[in-house]
């Protein structure tokens, strides 16, 4: 077993072997013999940019492939790795001093490619499902010494408790998806119809029970009246409230809040909003004559920035639309929140 007569050392970019754009190479020295093994092309800034651009250009087509189609490429690569095991072992030995007899990496790598070629069709590792509440099962998991990582989606208050519990136990990794008061910014050169469609959907989807819903919208003064009127029309014409099980048959796209506690919380925020000095344009409460924890899609206009409904997460179909003049002004308002900002801006 030995090295091939010719070692390919060029860069592989966009499906082709190419020399480095500036012709620069670096030496690979055999650590056992101190002899030159090869001169390898060194990627320049331009080469690196070219590689990223090629990957970016290829990504849409790759994304459209089915898991089966992607898997075929993975399996082909795994097969090629196995076929060239001896050459790879020799290259590793010559460049890194790794004894050929200890080289198992090619087969291990091929096995991983085979595994991930079919991973899209199966649930991986061991899965247990438990139901319960934060003050019992949630607290135990947070403090548990055998739990190495936790992912949590919920309130900021609970997230703080989980982080504290992790610090007091085994310093487990914690991944949090917490509350938000996300702003959307609409400039005067925006496609208003598109902006209205997207922002209205954001706050109304799932009855507003989405942590990244754009619950604050800032629209430039020159187009504010038109935008707000279109937004109001969208709520009144496009939203169909009803039993979520009837969505397919009757076009229902707006269901209730998750439970009684959340329903009461949203109603309390609505009353707070009415007292805040903002203008209620539509909605503002529970629909009359309908059972269930429903909330009418609600729009407040020109609510004071220090109002409770402007600062706290409502987690319901309630949006505040305020007007701005300058970019500096709206950036200051959008960032005036305790939450990590998830902001969207619509230019033309």
DSSP H helices in 169-287: 192-204, 224-238, 247-250, 260-275
Segments making up each domain of the chain, as ranges:
1-64, 134-177, 183-346
Show the tokens assigned to 80.
């090629």
Position 249 scores a pLDDT of 63
Highest mean pLDDT among 11-25, 86-100, 242-256: 11-25
Token digits of residue 308: 């409770």
Q: How far apart are CA 26 and CA 255, in angstroms?
A: 63
Give me the pLDDT at residue 345, please.
Answer: 53
Decide if pLDDT at 343 tops 60. no
The pLDDT of residue 16 is 85
Q: Which of 9, 328, 320, 28 is nearest to 183 (CA)?
A: 320
Q: Is residue 347 over pLDDT 60?
A: no
DSSP state of 154: S
More confident residue, 18 or 96: 18
- Residue appearing with tokens 């990590």: 340
Beta-carbon-side half-sphere exposure of residue 295 (alpha carbons within 13 Å): 32
More confident residue, 210 or 230: 230
Q: What is the pLDDT of residues 180-225, one digit of tens each?
A: 899 999 999 999 999 999 999 999 988 898 888 999 999 999 999 9
* Helix residue ranges per DSSP H, the chain: 45-64, 67-83, 85-96, 105-117, 139-143, 156-168, 192-204, 224-238, 247-250, 260-275, 308-311, 327-334
Q: At what angle do helices 67-83 and 85-96 cross, to 10 degrees?
A: 70
Mean pLDDT of all residues in 171-182: 90
Query: Rounded to an integer, what distance in angstroms lies between the CA atom of residue 344 and that of residue 128?
Result: 37
The whole-angstrom separation of Cα 81 and Cα 85 is 6
Mean pLDDT, residues 266-288 taken together: 95
- pLDDT over threshold 70, residue 341: no
Per DSSP, the three-state class of 1 is coil
pLDDT value at 346 more than 70: no
Model confidence band, residue 348 (pLDDT cutoffs 50, 70, 90): very low
Residue 114 in this model has a pLDDT that exceeds 70:
yes
Is 177 annotated as catalytic?
yes
Contact assessment for residue 152 and residue 312, using Cβ atoms and an 8 Å cutoff: no
Q: Which residue has the higher pLDDT, 245 or 209?
A: 209
* pLDDT the model gives residue 79: 97
Q: Please report the pLDDT score of residue 258 as a whole number.
A: 84
Is-catalytic flag, 211?
Answer: yes
Mean pLDDT, the chain, whole residue set: 88
Residues 228-248, mean pLDDT to the nearest whole number? 85
Q: Is the model's pLDDT at 308 over the cut of 90?
A: yes
Out of 177, 305, 329, 338, the active site residue is: 177
Decide if pLDDT at 105 tops 60: yes
Question: What percent of the chain shows pLDDT beyond 70?
Answer: 92
Q: Alpha carbon of 63 to those of 55, 66, 70: distances in Å?
A: 12, 8, 9
Angle at 121 between CA 118 and CA 124, to 5 degrees: 85
> Tokens 């492939």 map to which residue?
65
For 16, the token pair is: 């082709």
Lowest mean pLDDT among 112-121, 129-138, 220-229, 249-258: 129-138
* pLDDT band for position 107 (cuts 50, 70, 90): very high
- pLDDT tens, residue by residue, 160-169: 999 999 999 9
Q: How much is the pLDDT for 1?
A: 58
Query: What is the residue whose two structure tokens read 């020295």?
Result: 29
Q: Are 301 and 279 in contact (CB under 8 A)?
A: yes
CATH of domain 183-346: 3.40.309.10
């Amino acid at each position: 077993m030995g090295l091939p007569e010719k070692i390919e050392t060029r860069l592989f970019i966009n499906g082709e072997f190419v020399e480095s754009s500036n012709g620069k190479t670096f030496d690979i020295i055999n650590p056992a013999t101190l002899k030159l093994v090869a001169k390898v092309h060194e990627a320049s800034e331009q080469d690196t940019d070219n590689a990223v651009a090629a990957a970016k250009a290829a990504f849409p087509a790759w994304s459209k492939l089915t898991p089966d189609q992607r898997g075929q490429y993975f399996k082909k690569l795994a097969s090629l790795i196995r076929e060239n095991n001896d050459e790879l072992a020799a290259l590793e030995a010559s460049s890194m001093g790794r004894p050929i007899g200890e080289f198992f990496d090619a087969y291990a790598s091929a096995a991983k490619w085979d595994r991930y070629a079919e991973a899209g069709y199966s649930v991986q590792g061991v899965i247990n499902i438990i139901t319960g509440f934060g003050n019992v099962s949630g607290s135990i998991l947070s403090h548990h010494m055998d739990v190495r990582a936790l992912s949590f989606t919920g309130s900021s208050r609970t997230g703080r408790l989980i982080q504290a519990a992790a610090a007091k136990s085994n310093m487990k990794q914690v991944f949090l998806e917490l509350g938000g008061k996300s702003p959307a910014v609409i400039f005067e050169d925006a496609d208003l119809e598109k902006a209205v469609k997207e922002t209205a959907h954001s706050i109304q989807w799932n009855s507003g029970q989405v942590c990244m819903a754009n619950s604050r919208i800032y629209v430039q003064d020159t187009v504010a009246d038109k935008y707000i009127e279109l937004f109001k029309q969208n709520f009144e014409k496009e939203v169909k409230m009803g039993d979520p099980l009837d969505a397919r048959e009757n076009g229902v796209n707006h269901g209730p809040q998750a439970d009684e506690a959340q329903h009461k919380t949203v109603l309390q925020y609505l009353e707070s909003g009415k007292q805040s000095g903002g203008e209620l344009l539509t909605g503002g409460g529970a629909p009359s004559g309908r059972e269930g924890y429903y909330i009418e899609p609600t729009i407040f206009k020109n609510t004071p920035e220090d109002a409770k409904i402007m600062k706290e997460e409502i987690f319901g179909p309630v949006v505040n639309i305020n007007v701005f003049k300058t970019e500096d002004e709206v950036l200051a308002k959008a960032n005036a929140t305790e939450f990590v900002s998830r902001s969207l801006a619509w230019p033309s």
